[in-house]
Amino acid sequence: MTKKVLAICYTQSGQLREILDNFTVPLENVGISVERVNVNLKHNYAFPWTTDRFFSVMPDCQLDVPAELEPFTLAETKYDLIVLGYQAWFLSPSIPFNSLMNDARFKAILKDTPVITVTGARNMWLNAFVRVKKLIKAAGATLVGNIALVDTHPNPISFVTIFHWMLKGKKDSYLGIFPPPGVPDSEIKRSAAFGESLLPHLLGNNYEGFQNELDKQRAVVLKYNLMVIETVAGKIFKVWATFISKRKNKTAWLKVFKYYLLIAFWIGAPIMLTLNAIFFRFTTPKRIKARKQHFLSLS
Q: Nearest-CA neighbor of 35 among 85, 74, 80, 77?
A: 74
Contacts of 78 by beta carbon, 8 Å cutoff, 6+ apart: 4, 109, 113
Q: Pairing state of beta strands 4-9 and 33-38?
A: parallel
Structural domains for the chain: 4-222 (3.40.50.360), 225-296 (no CATH)
pLDDT of residue 283: 85
Mind listing the pLDDT tens digit of every residue in the chain (299 residues)? 689 999 999 999 999 999 999 999 999 999 999 999 999 999 999 999 999 999 999 999 999 999 999 999 999 999 999 999 999 999 999 999 999 999 999 999 999 999 999 999 999 999 999 999 999 999 999 999 999 999 999 999 999 999 999 999 989 999 999 999 999 999 999 999 999 999 999 999 999 999 999 999 999 999 999 999 999 999 999 999 999 999 999 999 999 999 999 999 999 999 999 999 998 888 889 999 999 999 999 98
Contacts of 89 by beta carbon, 8 Å cutoff, 6+ apart: 57, 58, 61, 95, 128
Cβ atoms < 10 Å from Cβ of 36: 14
Cβ atoms < 10 Å from Cβ of 133: 18
Fill in the DSSP letter of residue 44. P
The H helix count followed by the E strand count for the chain is 13, 7
Write down the pTM of the prediction.
0.94
Angle at 83 between CA 78 and CA 84, to 5 degrees: 105
Q: Is the dihedral of CA 116, 88, 9, 132 positive or negative?
A: positive
Using CA atoms, how far apart are residues 245 and 169, in angstroms rounded to an integer?
28
The torsion region of residue 100 among left (phi > 0), alpha (psi -120 to 50) and beta comes to alpha
Extract the runs of DSSP E, i.e. beta strands, from the chain: 4-9, 33-38, 81-86, 88-89, 92-93, 114-121, 142-150
pLDDT of residue 193: 98
Longest dimension (CA), the chain: 58
Contacts of 191 by beta carbon, 8 Å cutoff, 6+ apart: 19, 22, 23, 118, 147, 149, 219
Using CA atoms, how far apart are residues 134 and 151, in angstroms rounded to an integer?
25
